[in-house]
Amino acid sequence: MEPKKADAAAIAEAVQLLRQGLLVAFPTETVYGLGADASNALAVQGIFAAKGRPADHPLIVHIAEAAMLDDWAVHVPTVARQLAARFWPGPLALVLRKRAAVPAVVTGGQETVALRVPGHPVALQLLHAFGGGIAAPSANRFCRISPTQAAHVAEELGAAVAMILDGGPCQVGVESTIVDLSGMRPRLLRPGHIGVAELEALLQQPLLVPESLDTDIRAPGMMAVHYAPKTQAVCCPSALLSGQVRALLDSGRRVGVLAYQHGLPDNANLHVVPMPASAEGYAQSLYASLRALDALQLTCIFVESPPQTEAWRAVNDRLGKATVPLAAV
């Protein structure tokens, strides 16, 4: 399945395919989504089959505008409307109590539903033309790296989708921030481009967040899910990087590096991808860079640890899932 330029005709065709219960991959500002009509349980099951995703992993329902919140959720708190007014369209998903009519397959059997108005013109045109909600996880096989270009979707899911809308590379590059508003206090479920400070400024109360920056050394076996390249990927502090790389090169191995600041020597067996210095730039190119290195069939990809500060929370969260720490190797 070749991607199609997302012009008006292609979007109209995509709407027809969604109405027939088929899968359409489309761009959002975060990553490419694998979309199905969220009110059609059979269509949504197709997403799980195409991705190889376990049925208890809930999907985010994408809607055209905040006014549609009430079509999917009940007991919508005022803060949800305030967050929606401030950040939608944008890279923020809100978890709310679901309406009874929301198919259980969408929510992984839970009583809550995740909702988002994406901030990409193609996604918005598609949602407005379709009229209903589009359930869409990232358009990759389960446990693989999320796609940030239409070509990534074609490589990985090409045969499983009725259409891939090409809207160019994704601007944000990592999945949406998810905030759970279904409980007593707002809780961060997934860090993303919209940061904790921005959310708290609006909420006017602390957001419950996972205690650490999620980059603590964890035994690989303890990680519930690993969104990783096929090549072994190791997160490595700058100070140890050149020694680690040298040791592998000396034993004739081919090595890749996602380099944050390190100047590494040129070598035929060494593939260095210099990463942007800002957290936003780094996030934008992270998945495409990992995919590019993964395609080279190297022995190992080293990821030079970026800063461990709040601005880097989303990047460090994703690196924690894509790599193992050096200590675990």
Interacting residue ranges for ligand AMP, rule: CB under 6 A:
57-60, 95, 107, 110, 112-114, 137-138, 175, 178, 189-190
- Output 120 or 259, the one with its CB closest to ligand AMP: 120
Among 107, 138, 176, 316, binds Mg ion (CB under 5 A): 138
Binding of residue 40 to Mg ion (CB under 5 A): no
Q: How far is the CB of 36 from ligand AMP (least distance, A)?
A: 12
- Output 65 or 155, the one with its CB closest to Mg ion: 155
Amino acid at site 268:
A
Q: Which does 285 bind (CB under 5 to 8 A by kind): Mg ion, ligand AMP, none?
A: none
Sole window of 7-15, 96-104, 133-141, 206-214 interacting with Mg ion (rule: CB under 5 A): 133-141
Give residue for tokens 């067996």: 269
- Residue 62 forms beta bridges with which residues? 116, 134
Which DSSP string corresponds to 78-103?
A: HHHHHHHHHH-SSSEEEEEEEPTTS-
Q: Which does 207 bind (CB under 5 to 8 A by kind): ligand AMP, Mg ion, none?
A: none
CA distance linking residue 310 with residue 224, whole number of Å: 23
Q: State both tokens at 290.
A: 């990992």
CA distance linking residue 315 with residue 306, whole number of Å: 8
Q: Which does 114 bind (CB under 5 to 8 A by kind): Mg ion, ligand AMP, none?
A: ligand AMP
Sole window of 67-75, 115-123, 130-138, 231-239 interacting with Mg ion (rule: CB under 5 A): 130-138
Compute how many residues bind Mg ion; rule: CB under 5 A.
2
Binding of residue 30 to Mg ion (CB under 5 A): no
Which DSSP string corresponds to 136-174?
A: --BSS-TTSPPPSSHHHHHHHHGGG-SEEEE--S-SS-S
SS (H, E, C) 8-22: HHHHHHHHHHHHCCC
Q: How far is the CB of 231 from Mg ion (least distance, A)?
A: 19
73 closest CA partner among 29, 113, 33: 113
- Output 95 or 300, the one with its CB closest to ligand AMP: 95
Q: How far is the CB of 110 from ligand AMP (least distance, A)?
A: 5
- In sequence order, which residues have a C-beta less than 8 Å from that of residue 272 and are 6 or more positions away? 256, 257, 259, 264
Q: How far is the CB of 226 from ligand AMP (least distance, A)?
A: 13
Q: How far is the CB of 321 from ligand AMP (least distance, A)?
A: 11
